[in-house]
Amino acid sequence: MNVVSTVVGYPYIGENREWKRIVEGFWKKELTEQQFEQQMKAIRLEHIQRQQALGLDLIPIGDFTYYDRMLDLAMMFNIIPNRYNNLLEKESALTCYYAMARGTEQAVACEMTKWFNTNYHYIVPEYEGQHLYVTENRLLAYFLEAKEELGLLTKPTLIGPYTFVDLSKGYDEKTRAAFILALIPLYAQVLKELVDAGAEWIQLEEPSLTKSLSSKEARLVEEIYKQLTEAVPEANIMLQTYFEALTNYENLIQLPVAGIGLDFVHGKKENLEALRKSGFPKDKVLNIGIVNGRDIWSANLAEVASDVQAILNLSNANDLWVSSSCSLQHVPVTTANERKLDSVLLNALSFADEKINEIVHVAHFLSTQHWAKEGIVSESMECIRALATHPVRNNARVNDLVKSISNQDFVRLESFEERREIQKTALGLPDFPTTTIGSFPQSPAVKKTRAAWRKNELTNEEYAAFIKEETARWIAIQEEIGLDVLVHGEFERTDMVEYFGEQLTGFAFTEKAWVVSYGSRCVKPPIIYGDVEWSEAMTVKEVVDAQSLTSKYVKGMLTGPVTILNWSFVRNDIPREAVANQIALALRKEVEALEQAGIQIIQVDEPALREGLPLRREDWSTYLEWAVNAFKLATSSVKNETQIHTHMCYCEFNDFLDPIRALDADVISLETSRSHGELIASLKENPYELGIGLGVYDIHSPRIPQVEEMETILKESLEVLSKEQFWVNPDCGLKTRQESETIAALKRMVQAAKLLRDSSRKTLVN
722 CB-near residues (< 8 Å, 6+ apart):
none
| 212 and 272 co-located in one domain | yes
Ligand-binding site membership of 620 (annotated): no
Catalytic residues: 700
What do you get for the CA distance between the two ends of the chain, in Å?
Answer: 83
Dihedral sign from CA coordinates of 225, 227, 229, 232: negative
- Domain termination residue (choose one: 355, 389, 423): 389
CA-CA distance, 123 to 238, in Å (whole number)?
25
In a domain, 556, yes or no: yes
| 582 and 717 co-located in one domain | yes
| 681 and 735 co-located in one domain | yes
In a domain, 212, yes or no: yes
Domain that holds residue 243: 2-17+157-389
| 512 and 531 co-located in one domain | yes
Low-confidence ranges of the chain (pLDDT < 70): 650-654, 672-677, 762-766
| 679 and 739 co-located in one domain | yes
CA-CA distance, 528 to 578, in Å (whole number)?
12
In a domain, 353, yes or no: yes
In a domain, 255, yes or no: yes
CA-CA distance, 606 to 580, in Å (whole number)?
12
- Domain termination residue (choose one: 374, 389, 404): 389
| 320 and 342 co-located in one domain | yes
Ligand-binding site membership of 63 (annotated): no
Question: For residue 750, what is the domain's CATH number?
Answer: 3.20.20.210
List, in sequence order, every residue forming a beta bridge with 729; answer none if it has no partner.
695
In a domain, 358, yes or no: yes
| 202 and 170 co-located in one domain | yes
Instruction: Identify the H or E element spanning 445.
Output: helix 444-454
Q: What total number of domains does the chain contain?
A: 2
Ligand-binding site membership of 482 (annotated): no
Ligand-binding site membership of 136 (annotated): no
In a domain, 490, yes or no: yes
CA-CA distance, 282 to 63, in Å (whole number)?
29
| 312 and 446 co-located in one domain | no
Enter the pTM of the model.
Answer: 0.89
| 280 and 264 co-located in one domain | yes
User: To 10 degrees, what angle do helices 540-547 and 460-481 make?
Assistant: 40
- Domain termination residue (choose one: 336, 354, 389): 389
In a domain, 53, yes or no: no
In a domain, 365, yes or no: yes
Ligand-binding site membership of 397 (annotated): no
Ligand-binding site membership of 438 (annotated): yes
| 714 and 751 co-located in one domain | yes
Ligand-binding site membership of 268 (annotated): no
| 595 and 716 co-located in one domain | yes
Q: 561 by DSSP, 3-state: which?
A: helix
| 577 and 715 co-located in one domain | yes
Ligand-binding site membership of 484 (annotated): no
pLDDT at residue number 759: 84
CA-CA distance, 401 to 583, in Å (whole number)?
11
